[in-house]
Structure 1
Amino acid sequence: MEVSSVQKLCEYLISCATQRCRMTQHYCRLAVVVVVLKYDRHPSLRISVSDTGIGSSLEEFNCLKYTTLTYPASTENWDGMMSLTTTRINDNEIYHYSLNLNETSSTRLTKLPSNSKNGTNFSGTEVTFFTSGIALKELKCFINKILVLKIQNIAIELVVDNGGPSRSHCEQILKANECAASSESNIERLISGFEDYVLKHGNILDDKCVSCSSSGCPLKVGSGTVCTPEHKKNTGMVLEAVVIISEILEATTSQCCCTGYDTRTEVLYFEDFSPSEITQGSLNALSIINWAAYGLKLKGITEKDGYGLMEWDNLAPNVHIGIVLHYYHEGEIMMPSDMKKARAGKSITGKAVKLALTDLKQKNSGVLLSTRAKKICSTYAPDLARTVAGLVVSSCDTKFQEECLSVLGLKIDQVEKAEDVENRIKAMIVSVIERNDTTNPKRGSREAASYLFEENCSLEPADFLDEEYCQEEEEE
């Protein structure tokens, strides 16, 4: 594996430490400590990545290649040297090594004198090196993304020591997250972690945004999970997708909010419980989803700094959409250097995202209505309600009026004006349209639709759909 910057090297080391902690299946602590050693134009830093996982097998460093950035703006200053301390639970000693990533594999690793564990049982690894080429903001961003997964039994923290004789110079940038044993599934923890990420606006805030969390609009969440069939070659692979829609009430939009609500969606992508660059297959899948079926119009999608960046044409200014994808091998724990070549493609990604969108749509009435359903609700439903209400109200047959109003759940003495009847009929029409706004209607393939009144109509649900619309949806 080739690493082209100190920043990427830190991310690789943190990913490896995360996997070592997962392998223990017990409570673990992962700490990233950055110590500023001197002050000048480019301060010298000591970076330490430590974990209480199973201990390093050293193979993960043998394949690691470091390439210094060559562009003029680079501030990297590192000789490729690292020190490694590691031990496994059954080892009697703590082993020390010196590594030079600029050397060939046969000379890069030098074993140093070890220390006795004196009969104690513990395991862990610590990697330390000195450099000047790292951005704490980007490092915090990477760790924040790991926290989205809420990996069970792992506490993660980032500490920056600005030097000096007292601990007052030490700043805990990210506190250790809660990591108690939980019966929640991976997807449930992913939903919870992504909700926290959205309310903190990603990496901008350490705490929940007051404007968003107190706006009175709860997050609208949908999730979908797709597993590859057992007869496929890549059996045991899972892709989880979570879609969150957050909204700020008009009354609170004037308040200071760091989210910068705009028409873009940042798509987070993970592979095997590690942040990763989004795959081209996943980008392609997102670009060909029939977004109109969810009332959205995709303007474009690009890749930027490993993220998928989606831009919408018709998103309200106070609404934001967040998407996270996690692709992993079920039952397997692999180091970043050993991750398989098979990656999430169009089929599995598209299915998972559409399941998440449909789940969100079913849980939240009136949300993600298709373009067609929106047109019916705004254009045809009011006219139809007005016409039917006019027939009822203008009738001279009192018994007929009472029966009609009874079907609507009204009594004749409750109706003061025709608009009351019209609004009730309109609400019932819109409710039925919302409940039956499926993303892929096909004749004879779905359950009977809900009807406006108690008496069921003899028509099949698909008969209310025009032939052209059905053909368009089936082509998706």
Structure 2
Amino acid sequence: MASVSSPHRKLLHFLVYWAVQRCRVSESPCRLTFSLKRPAESASPSQLRVSVSDTGVRSKLEEFLELNDLARETPVEKWDGTLLITTTGINDEAIYRYRFNLHEELSSARFSRLATTYKNHATFSGTEVCLCLSNEADADDLILWLVGFFHKILVLRAANLACELFVEQIGNAESRNVCLPQDSDDVHHSVMASSSDRLVSGLKDYALSHGYNCDKCDTCILNRDLLKTGTGAANNVDRRKAKGAHVEVVILIARTASDLSCWAVNCSSTQGSQQDRHLVRKALKSALSHLKADHAGDFLSCHGQRVREYVPDLAESIAGLILSSNDKEFHDECVSLLGLGSDQDISEELVQSSICEKMIRIIELNDTKENVEDNAPYLFECEKLDEDSQLDEEDRDEDMIFDF
């Protein structure tokens, strides 16, 4: 089975990441679609055809240059380094098509512009990136990883973003199309939100992007004369009697550039010390740890998911052995280990459910990079991870973020 950090998965991870960012910047309801077409026979010389499309803002071609290092470490027989890019902006009159060959040494030959199609006054935006990957023997593992990866995206409940995953088997009379849609309630959650909820969300995004700094950001606000101010009053309709409390609020609204990533610019108000970066890394690691703990089932590795498939059958067998034993001492000890009281009405379903829950929990706890090679020796006892471990190991932090 391919490594979690295999070039294929890193490449697809980057493409989906940039698609999500384009959708976020658009601040409008968007759709992200991942399409994978595979041949019917695993040994077929045909390649895996991959398409990542979104309806966000127009892509910046410079973002694909970040794949240079990944292209160099990927063998040519795995991926030829070619990307076919189709993109357009909401105000563009045409749809632009490009071909990137990241394996090409000559910079003049790496990039070529293809035929342009005009939109005929239609108004839309979006980007599609197409590529071909080798049809490896572990295509099933790649698909399993993709399903888990998209489940992680759905866990984020990103505002105004609907995600779709299509896996199509071609060249077969019994071809099937599998779709992983997102619930409509999640898609329209932010669209149906009240004005106050949207304002709170916007202020949080602004505070996060500026590092909670009170100084104005020269990148976002170049001219303070462009700021708009106003006054108003709010009444609480739920209370008939006013309490006499008054709150003064100042809200500043200004038009910003289309590139909202001011945190990436050398802005004096966003510069932080080494200690600040350490705290940010620590907070990010803690947040991801809590998120993975709350959604442990969605963050299992491909190996962990395969192991979890055998849990129900194994739990049923163990429960049958326990309840069929005539040794009362053995029976009581097993019940005690499972956390079931001796005065309870012990049924096979209850024992099986308890065993199943504990086994799944153990799999989730030990499905980490540290325990991949050295399996946990105990079923009912787990070592607690050292919470005071050094956070300066940037490689571990980056691996954790990449896995997420």
The structure with higher relative contact order (CA 8 Å, sep 6+) is 2
Structure number with the higher strand fraction is 1
TM, length-normalised to structure 2: 0.49
Q: Which has the larger radius of gyration?
A: 1
